[in-house]
Amino acid sequence: MRRKSKIKAGFIGLGTMGSAMAQNLLRSGMEVAVFDSDVDKLEDFWSIPNCRIASSPMDAAIDADYFFTMLPDSEVVEEVLFGENGAVLKLREKALIIEMSTGSPVAFQDFRKRLHQQHIRIIDAPVGRTPGHAKRGDLLVLVGADEETLDEIRPLLECFGKDIVLVGPPGHAIRLKIVNNYMSMVGMVLTAETLLLAKKAGIDRDIAVKVLQSTTAGKGQINVNFPRKVLAGDISPDFPLSLGLKDISLAVELAKAEGAPLFLGGAARELFALAKPWGRSQQDCTAMLLLLEDLARSS
């Protein structure tokens, strides 16, 4: 890779995450042309050396070797790339688009196909963690690319990322990001349901939180039981699915008596009840993964 001071980049989307990421790129000495449809977001950038305020995505794409997008969703990314003043009108052959938004994997593959016809490269590099991490340059960056391309851009990603993980070929990083966010968002509901149940059951909230933070439930099955049991090929019952059914049933019944709606709880009980007809009730609770794989195969 050339010295950073010789590299030219475009960066579109200077919101909560993108603003800090673009500023970290600029701090490395790169020349960056920035654009955001909200002019207020440009304010912090006027005084930064090496920064050019672009008038459109097309303008930001002029001379860019690398073109970053950090936008709300795939519809906006499509507009920025292919719209009336879209970047593809000026991006040169072999330029690399680094799409960092959390968007649709289907839309990403469509962009990739369309850009391939114009000899423009695109990879997916969605980020994890918080706006604070973006400011400190400590983001998790998931990369969907070949190794050669990652080697090429690693110094750029390191301007805002501390942990850079090559997930697989283009399109795989955004898939993993969605998998992660599925767990995160369902975890929001599960945590809220759990705290509601504790409150309705008359438990002091501070005590409930403290206890849950110390148990396997709170620490997360992905950290505690799954790696040492089903993922290690061991489904001998430390705690069988039959006992899991008993416990989830107790919770659902308590919730019913106390007037706490448990949406996930009802679905979980149905799944635990399926363990018996599928011949898995005496296997470890983590064999829930195998039960779901059974169900996926049969659907």
Binding site for ligand NAD (CB under 6 A): 12-18, 35-38, 41, 70-72, 76, 79-80, 101-102, 127, 130-131
User: Rounded to 5 degrees, what are φ and ψ at 240?
Assistant: -75, 160
For ligand NAD, give the closer residue by CB, 106 or 257: 106
Residue 206 burial (CB < 10 Å; 0-12/13-18/19+)? exposed
Rg of the chain over Cα atoms, rounded to whole angstroms, equals 24
Comparison of 187 and 279: residue with beta carbon closer to ligand NAD: 187
Q: Whole-angstrom Cα distance, residue 296 to residue 268?
A: 16
Which residue's Cβ lies closest to ligand NAD?
15
Tell me whether residue 11 or residue 272 sits nearer to ligand NAD (CB atom). Answer: 11
State whether the Cα torsion 213-214-218-219 is positive or negative. positive
Q: How far is the CB of 147 from ligand NAD (least distance, A)?
A: 24
DSSP-derived 3-state class of residue 97: strand
The residues annotated with a catalytic role in the active site are: 177
Nearer to ligand NAD, 12 or 251 (CB): 12
Query: Which is closer to ligand NAD, CB of 74 or CB of 149?
Result: 74
Q: How far is the CB of 12 from ligand NAD (least distance, A)?
A: 5
- Residue 265, burial from CB neighbour count under 10 angstroms (0-12, 13-18, 19+): buried
What CA–CA distance (Å, rounded) separates 285 from 230? 9
Report CA 276 to chain centroid distance, whole Å: 35
Quote the CA–CA distance of 212 and 126 in Å, as a whole number: 31
Longest distance between any two alpha carbons in the chain, whole Å = 68
* Least gap, CB of 258 to ligand NAD (angstroms): 34
Q: Give the tokens for residue 211.
A: 């206890």
